[in-house]
């Protein structure tokens, strides 16, 4: 009898956590860190916009976060040269949007063959540390970016959820 009651209680707790509303996340557009000798071009800019939209869509679809629009702070973001190195400006902007989490991303381009997609998830309440996720890309193509962002979300960020 006690064992049955314990199992029922366990299932109720597990069911509640499975139904919990995902945290609200301000997902800012990826920024570019070009470490290669080749200057950035329009294809790079277009790829950043597309992979940013894919990240938002995947996080929402997978139920990892409820994505809030960053449109109301786009002008302020544009004033910051780098959301990763602006002393917490992304956190403040995310708070303005009512988010629980600030998510920033960076594409590091070493060459046309070697690139990294990096995503940083910063909880805005409590003392939880920022989490960093990264995937290496081989090739500066739409296909490599598409595969990379899917892999990063499904196998790194979504692991265990």
Q: What is the pLDDT of residues 13-42, one digit of tens each?
A: 554 445 689 999 999 999 998 888 888 889
List the end-to-end C-alpha distance of the chain, in Å, as a whole number: 31
Q: What percent of the chain has pLDDT over 90?
A: 62
What Å distances lie between residue 146 and 92, 96, 103, CA to CA? 30, 30, 19
State residue 20's pLDDT score. 82
Strand duo 114-123 + 24-34: pairing = unpaired
H-only helix segments in the chain: 2-18, 42-61, 74-79, 89-96, 142-151
Q: SS3 for 124?
A: coil
| pTM of the complete model | 0.84
**Cβ–Cβ < 8 Å for 105, 117:** yes
How far is 138 from 144, CA to CA, in rounded Å?
7
């Amino acid at each position: 009898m006690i064992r049955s009651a314990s199992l029922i209680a366990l299932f109720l707790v597990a069911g509640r956590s499975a139904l919990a509303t995902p945290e609200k996340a301000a997902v800012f557009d990826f920024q570019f860190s070009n470490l290669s000798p080749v200057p950035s071009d329009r294809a790079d800019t277009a790829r950043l916009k597309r992979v940013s939209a894919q990240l938002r869509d995947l996080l929402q679809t997978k139920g990892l976060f409820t994505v809030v629009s960053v449109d109301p702070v786009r002008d302020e973001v544009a004033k910051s040269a780098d959301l990763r190195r602006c002393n917490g400006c992304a956190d403040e902007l995310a708070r303005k949007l009512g988010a629980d989490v600030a998510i920033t991303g960076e594409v590091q381009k070493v060459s046309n063959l070697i690139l990294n997609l990096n995503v940083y998830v910063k909880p805005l309440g409590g003392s939880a540390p920022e989490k960093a996720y990264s995937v290496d890309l081989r090739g500066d193509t739409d296909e490599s970016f598409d595969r990379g962002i899917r892999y990063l979300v499904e196998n790194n960020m979504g692991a265990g959820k």
